[in-house]
Amino acid sequence: MPTLLDLTQQGDVGTISDESQLSSVTLMDPQQLYELWERQNWQAHTIDLSRDAEDWRSLDRDRQRQVAWNLSSFFIGEERVTTQFTGLVAAYETQSEEAFLTTQQVDEARHAQHFNRFYDQVLAYGTTFEERLARAREDLNDAFVTLFDGHLVDACRRLLDDPRDLEAKVDFVTTYHMVIEGTLALTGQRFITDFCERDGLFPGFVEGFKLISRDEHRHVAYGTWFLQQKVRDPALAKRMQDKLVELLPIAASVFVPPGLQLGDSYEILGYSSDEVNEYAFTALSRRLKVIGVGLPAVEAA
């Protein structure tokens, strides 16, 4: 079974030679996604975290470190995209797209609030939101910083400089909706949620995390729709492919725990690196097939 790691070790992605290879899947458009957002709205501050605090105290120090390392990437990631999503909002092409994109920025702020409450009431990190973010940043690896503080910030700045720059918009959506959210976030959510439910831990956190995952499936649906619309332009299709080739090695490295490097075998909360990377590969490849973008050719394991 190919894994996300395989994609970092291959050559160029495949090209799309004719329209017959493009997906015919009909996706929800921004107006439909906005209406779905209204039906799926929720409140972060109504979730009870009292049992979660008890669960945290019951864990040994090593397991606490593992949990904190995994969750810190989400906490910082939600804060990063909340601040960096303004560029994409400014690049809307229709009123319906503008409406949906503003809901996503609100969603990201709400997700950051959920993690802030968890780090405050359960992990007891710092006395302010800012202190908790600074403490969580200590858990990040270099690949995360490169992706979120480098590529994502640069993509936002380019759109703020010129909201009509379609190439910059394709870069942003590929970077965020396909790589960060559609590959890293949804993969991490799957395994962290399974770990918590398997061990009966953190019911309040899981309640909010599942709602966050639902939001992010809606966000990724927008990104898939947008790229499917633009992929018929060969230059933009090539741009999507080039961005994937550039970012996939960095994305694969985000999963790697401290003290290890890309290519090493490791375990995350009881799940092997092969399991994690296979899930990420499958999620990404299915989505890109719907868009009509080729992936790097990989050999069967």
Query: Taking a C-beta distance cutoff of 8 angstroms, is the pair 153, 180 a contact?
Result: no
Query: Is the confidence at residue 247, as pLDDT, over 80?
Result: yes
At 83, the amino acid letter reads T
Tokens of 68: 């904190």
The set of residues, in sequence order, having a beta carbon less than 8 Å from that of 123 and lying 6+ positions away, is 56, 68
Give the model confidence (pLDDT) of 282-297 as tens digits.
999 999 999 999 865 5
In the predicted model, what is the mean pLDDT of residues 142-152? 97
Mean pLDDT, the chain, integer: 90
SS3 296: strand
Q: At a CB cut-off of 8 Å and minimum separation 6, what does 119 contact?
A: 71, 75, 125, 126, 132, 135, 136
Compute the average pLDDT of residues 243-251.
Answer: 94
Q: pLDDT at position 9, please? A: 42
Structure tokens at 191: 């395994």
- Asked if the model's pLDDT at residue 270 lies above 70, the reply is yes
pLDDT over threshold 60, residue 1: no
Q: How far apart, in whole angstroms, are the C-alpha atoms of residue 185 and residue 183?
A: 6
Would you give the end-to-end CA distance of the chain in angstroms? 5
Cα(249)–Cα(75) distance, rounded to whole angstroms?
22
- Return the H-helix or E-strand segment holding 158: helix 153-161
- Give the tokens for residue 279: 């899930």
- Judge contact between 205 and 118, C-beta under 8 A: yes
d(CA 301, CA 298): 9
Q: Is 165 exposed, middle or buried, given 0-12, 13-18 or 19+ CB atoms closer than 10 A?
A: middle
- Give me the half-sphere count of Cα atoms (radius 13 Å) on the Cβ side of residue 173: 31
pLDDT tier for residue 267 given thresholds of 50, 70 and 90: confident
pLDDT value at residue 177: 97
**Which tens digits make up the pLDDT trace of 4-50?**
555 444 433 333 333 444 455 789 999 999 999 999 999 999 999 99
What are the structural domains of the chain? 4-10+26-291 (1.10.620.20)
Query: Please, which pLDDT band fits residue 261 given cuts at 50, 70 and 90?
Result: confident
Mean per-residue pLDDT, 153-169: 98
Instruction: Indicate if the pLDDT at residue 228 is higher than 60.
Output: yes
Determine the Cα–Cα distance for residues 286 and 71; give it in Å rounded to an integer.
Answer: 26
Average pLDDT over residues 109-134: 97
DSSP per-residue codes, 72-108: HHHHHHHHHHHHHTHHHHHT-SSHHHHHHHHHHHHHH
| Secondary structure (3-state) at 33 | helix
Residues 61-66: contacts with CB under 8 Å, at least 24 apart = 66/268, 66/269
Beta carbons within 8 Å of 136's beta carbon, 6+ residues apart: 68, 71, 72, 75, 76, 119, 125
The per-residue pLDDT for range 73-98, each reduced to its tens digit, is 999 999 999 999 999 999 999 999 99
Q: Is the pLDDT assigned to residue 172 strictly greater than 80? A: yes
